[in-house]
Amino acid sequence: MAEETIFSKIIRREIPTDILYQDDLVTAFNDIHPQAPTHILIIPNHLIPTCNEVKASDEKALGRMITVAAKLAAEAGIAENGYRLIMNCNQHGGQEVYHIHMHLVGGEPLGPILNGHLQN
């Protein structure tokens, strides 16, 4: 697995990205290929390649990802109508960047299917 990803460069602000939120644990920014009107990526600031590598010591960062998602959903005006949080793991799960990340997707009715895959 990678030790450095494009997300690592975004966290360090080496790649110009419109950072929506950043603290000592997580960073959030708009997805460059949005699947809905609101599509934000929320990532831990330290590299965890997949959900399979999550440790108990990562729980604070993972919890922060969810609280930041709720904050950003409220700021985007999508909290009341609803949104979806998605994390993919490995190839069959659709993971493309091997630095775990949560997709915050909303702003329109999403239905049971997003991007051709069931999201249950």
- 20's enclosing H/E stretch is strand 19-22
Q: Identify the active-site residue in 39, 99, 101, 103.
A: 101
Whether 101 sits among the annotated catalytic residues: the reply is yes
Alpha-carbon distance of 28 to 26, in angstroms, equals 7
Q: Which distant-in-sequence residues (6+ apart) come within 8 Å of 95 by Cβ?
A: 50, 88, 89
Alpha-carbon distance of 56 to 91, in angstroms, equals 24
First to last CA, the chain: 27
List residues with catalytic annotation. Answer: 101
